Amino acid sequence: MRRRIRIPPIASSEITSETAYLSRRTFIRGAGMMAAPLVAGVSSPLASSESVAGAPLQYAPAGPGANGFYTDEPQTPFEDVASYCNFYEFGTDKGDPARYAGQMSTDPWSVEVGGAVARPGKLNLEDIMSGYDLEERVYRLRCVEAWSMVVPWIGFPLGDLLRRFEPTSSARYVEFRTLYRREEMPGTRSFTSIIDWPYREGLRMDEAMHPLTLVAVGLYGKTLPNQNGAPLRLVVPWKYGFKSIKSIVSIRLLEQQPATSWQSLAPREYGFYANVNPQVDHPRWSQKYERRLPSTLFRPNRMPTLMFNGYGEQVADLYKGMDLARFY
């Protein structure tokens, strides 16, 4: 059963980042070693300006509608979206991805789709990009660490991509994997790194086919900065941010629920479903509130977290009859 701790609304500085806490714990549990620096010996980074240069994209702009594709809440400025990131392959500090992800080569890029599909195959990025009309989606993204952003993504529905490979009737889940290239990813070389790389995520088939589930290839009108998951990533706006896996190279359709990185690491803290839910606290902090970026000490921009991150109208039906405190 989940531990529930009542914690009054707390400052962000009191929420330890996901890996910082876990790696410390692993170390303390492990060989009785002293707490080690989070990222050991990384090579010199490229200038971050090199890693954020995006190419303009053609897309249909988002607008008001009942489908949840658009919110008129203030958008988090590009500078914040591209500098405050979680991408542990490049380190656990929020600034590490912007500092180091420029080392990741994204050209050429291909995505392999296999498992329970009639037409397995490998598509290169150009084929993927030419197959879809890109659209803008302005979504809230709520990290399990209790911060959030509003981001104008550019992309296409994941369902459109999956249909191209003709899922068979035994396809009940989808597993995603991120690129794993040690030479280009200092966070994976760090000896305090605790994730079993590559980073893995998963969705139930009906979640994957839901129109809100987006493959993003850009934000703010341009191709994705490397640190935000170039050249293509998932965005699942009603789930905690860790489900929105970056820089995808592999997609497999499966009959069984796949093991995912965070769930494998700390199953009591991170579930497979990971639906945003203010009623179910993280064992170490409350999920009732969030800090909307940009957030400062003097202007924390704190607001209540909404059930399903405000997308209940669109997705609550997927979980009818499920105990969401058990399937967190």
Ligand X SMILES: Nc1nc2c(c(=O)[nH]1)N[C@H]1C(S)=C(S)[C@@H](COP(=O)(O)O)O[C@H]1N2
Which residue stretches of the chain are H helix? 18-29, 48-52, 78-81, 96-100, 125-130, 158-163, 186-189, 205-208, 261-265, 312-315
Q: Is 242 in the site for ligand X (CB under 6 A)?
A: yes
Q: Does 93 bind ligand X (CB under 6 A)?
A: no
Query: Least CB distance from residue 265 to ligand X, whole Å?
Result: 11
Residue 87 touching ligand X (CB under 6 A)? yes
Interaction mask 197-216, ligand X, x per CB under 6 A: --x-----------------
Residue 102 contact, options ligand X, Mo ion, none, Cβ 5-8 Å cut-off depending on partner type: none
Q: How far apart are CA 215 and CA 166, in angstroms?
A: 18
Q: Which is nearer to Mo ion, 39 or 143 (CB)?
A: 143
Residue 192 binds ligand X (CB under 6 A): no
How are beta strands 200-204 and 214-219 bridged, if at all? unpaired
Which one of residues 99, 140, 239, 246 is an interface residue with ligand X (CB under 6 A)? 246
Q: Give residues 221-280 in contact with Mo ion (rule: CB under 5 A).
A: 241-242
Interior/surface letters 272-306, b for 16+ CB within 10 angstroms, e for the rest? bbbbbbbebbbeebbbbbbbbbebeeeeeeeeebb
Grouping H, G, I as helix, E, B as strand and the rest as coil, residue 33 is coil
Query: Closer to Mo ion at the Cβ: 15 or 185?
Result: 15
Of the candidates 316, 247, 295, 324, the residue with the CA atom closest to the CA atom of residue 145 = 295
Region 117-146 residues binding ligand X, contact defined as CB under 6 A: 141, 143
Contact call for residue 228 and ligand X (CB under 6 A) = yes
Q: Which is nearer to ligand X, 89 or 136 (CB)?
A: 89
d(CA 238, CA 310): 7
Is residue 193 a contact point for ligand X (CB under 6 A)?
no
The C-alpha torsion from 274 through 275 and 278 to 281, rounded to 10°, is -20
Angle at the Cα of 182 (from 177 to 187), degrees rounded to 5? 85
Residue 319 has what DSSP assignment? G
Contact call for residue 147 and Mo ion (CB under 5 A): no
Q: Could you say whether residue 274 binds ligand X (CB under 6 A)? A: no
Site stretch for Mo ion (CB under 5 A), options 142-150, 182-190, 206-214, 297-305: 142-150
Please identify, using beta-carbon distances, which residue of 247 and 286 lies nearer to ligand X. Answer: 247
244 is a contact residue toward ligand X (CB under 6 A)? yes
Residue 143 within binding range of Mo ion, rule CB under 5 A: yes
Write the CB contacts of 18 (distance below 8 Å, at least 6 apart in sequence). Answer: 86, 144, 145, 242, 262, 270
Contacting residues toward Mo ion, per CB under 5 A: 86, 143, 241-242
Contacting residues toward ligand X, per CB under 6 A: 85-89, 141, 143, 178, 199, 228-229, 241-242, 244-247
